[in-house]
Amino acid sequence: MRRTNSETPIPNPQHLLKNQPPTSNPQPLVLLTPGPTPIPPSVLAKLAEPILHHRTVEFGAFFERVIQDLQYVFRTKNTVLLQTTSGTGGMESAVANLLSPGDKTLVATAGAFGNRWGKILKAYGFLPIIQEEEWGSAIDPNRFEALLKTHGKDLKAVYLTHTETSTGVVHPIEVLSRLIHQYSDALVVVDSISGLGGQELKTDEWNLDVVVSASQKGLMNAPGLAFISLSERALQVMEMSKCPRFYWDWRTMKKSVPNKETPYTPSVSLVVAQAEALRLIKEEGIESVWAKTTRLAQWTREELKKLNFPLFPHPPCDVLTSVSVPESVNATELVHRLLKDFRISIADGQEKLKGRIIRIAHMGYIRKEDLQRGFSALQTCLTDTQKK
């Protein structure tokens, strides 16, 4: 007998994941990756609502709420822009809008995402000075200060990363920002794509000119939106910058904000869903969200220590934990097996850390019971490895 449409089985989403064969495993997916992260049911429900037109009062109300609530989460009175792109698009726009050919920049990096600033700058023809620290450690303020003493006067912008998702480190953004302002007029530009909404960040108090974030991590939405806060200084520089830009042009985006809209068609459903996710964060209070994330991070580190996984980063951030795997274990195989047999999705190391560390997130809507399921599956995998 032929199946009717309503009987057609919905494909298990696991086969859509890279390198994963289709599975008949009926267990629900537990997403413990450091982005995308799980979404609260009320946010998920918003994504299923009929689409609004983006030049309407109804959409404008959602847009306005999102911008205002982002100011609350960013801890800023600055302008906040919304772009339909993933976080990297937000990063690229922070290069295209702030610089002119020949400008000098500094990148402080200790991982794949810090390095991304360098790659974007080079793609635009800039030759950034790079302070590179060992992966797993944080930017050393003394070396940073020495670079600023030498080059500070010539710098147009300094590009930093808040929580380095590839290693699990938190960089001392408040200290680094103070040093930049002490030695330079350079703009302080921070990637807080995995940090915002989990790791403490105070844009105005820490004098951060530009902060870039995205929807799919601590902000509990699906991937597809980037958010950028811009100080008055950054807005002035943006007006004068000579880099070519069109889709990424913050000047056009800023002009649209008072009309409660974006210059081009935004990802309407994501904006509506973001309004709901931000409502939940506001209801809980950003300080409580930070405190909850810190507690979950501490507990995760203790649980992984009990399983004999040594902590990899120093100092660890609150939004994810990365740990080294024992010599006898291959992290890549472990990550695949957890997904295949237990429907637990965690992350492998990236680039030179592939196969050497695992990364487990505890930000946004990830709850203790989700982590608990992950740890018991990990325990089973380890016991099986020992038996072999």
35, 197, 218, 266: which one binds ligand PMP (CB under 6 A): 35
Residue closest to ligand PMP when measured from CB atoms: 87
Q: Which of 83, 84, 86, 97 binds ligand PMP (CB under 6 A)?
A: 86
In whole angstroms, the minimum distance from the beta carbon of 198 to ligand PMP comes to 11
Which part of the chain contacts ligand PMP (CB under 6 A), choosing from 80-88, 174-182, 234-242, 308-316? 80-88
* CB neighbour list of residue 322: distance below 8 Å, 6 or more residues apart: 167, 168, 311, 312, 313, 316, 349, 357, 358, 359, 360
Amino acid 25 reads N
CB of 154 to ligand PMP, least distance (A): 26
Query: What is the side-by-side strand order in the sheet with 320-324?
Result: 320-324, 357-361, 347-348
The one segment of 25-33, 99-107, 187-195, 323-331 that binds ligand PMP by CB under 6 A? 187-195
Q: Answer yes or no: are the C-beta atoms of 276 and 289 closer than 8 Å.
A: no
In the complex with ligand PMP, the residue whose CB is nearer, 106 or 382, is: 106
Cβ(375)–Cβ(303) under 8 Å?
yes
Q: Inter-axis angle of helices 173-183 and 141-151, to 10 degrees?
A: 20
Asked if 121 contacts 100 with a C-beta cutoff of 8 angstroms, the reply is no
Among 165, 167, 229, 262, binds ligand PMP (CB under 6 A): 165
Please list every residue from 100 through 129 that binds ligand PMP, using CB under 6 A: 113, 116
- Taking CB under 6 A as the rule, does residue 266 contact ligand PMP? no
Q: Please state, in angstroms and as integers, the Cα–Cα distance from residue 355 to each residue in 107, 136, 166, 323, 332, following that order.
A: 27, 15, 13, 11, 5
Is 167 a binding residue for ligand PMP by CB under 6 A? The answer is: no
Candidates 38, 87, 198, 218; binder of ligand PMP (CB under 6 A) is 87
For residues 165 and 35, the answer to whether their CB atoms sit within 8 Å is yes
Rounded Cα–Cα distance for residues 109 and 173 (Å) = 12
Q: Which stretch binds ligand PMP (CB under 6 A): 123-131, 190-198, 331-339, 368-376?
A: 190-198
Cβ(259)–Cβ(57) below 8 Å: no
Name which of 165 and 184 has its Cβ closer to ligand PMP.
Answer: 165
Cβ pair 198, 213 in contact under 8 A = no
Q: Which amino acid is at 229?
A: S
Indicate whether 193 belongs to the interface with ligand PMP (CB under 6 A): yes
Strand 225-230: give its sheet, edge to edge: 79-84, 225-230, 210-214, 187-191, 155-161, 104-109, 129-132
Of 88, 252, 330, 380, the one binding ligand PMP by CB under 6 A: 88
Residue number, 105 or 216, with CB nearest to ligand PMP: 216
Question: Residues 211 to 230: which contact ligand PMP by CB under 6 A?
Answer: 214
Which helix (H) or strand (E) segment is 205 a member of?
Answer: none
Size, binding site for ligand PMP by CB under 6 A: 12
Report the residue from 69, 92, 133, 191 that binds ligand PMP according to the rule CB under 6 A: 191
Q: Which residue's CB is nearer to ligand PMP, number 87 or number 266?
A: 87
Which window, 83-91, 123-131, 249-257, 331-339, contacts ligand PMP (CB under 6 A)?
Answer: 83-91
Phi–psi pair at 161, nearest 5 degrees: -125, 135
Q: 66 or 363, CB closer to ligand PMP?
A: 363
Among 109, 161, 167, 203, binds ligand PMP (CB under 6 A): 161
- Cβ-Cβ contacts under 8 Å for 209 (sequence gap 6 or more): 187, 188, 189, 230, 231, 233, 234
Quick one: 304 or 317, whose CB is closer to ligand PMP?
317
Q: Where do contacts with ligand PMP occur on this chain (CB under 6 A)? A: 35, 86-88, 113, 116, 161, 165, 191, 193-194, 214
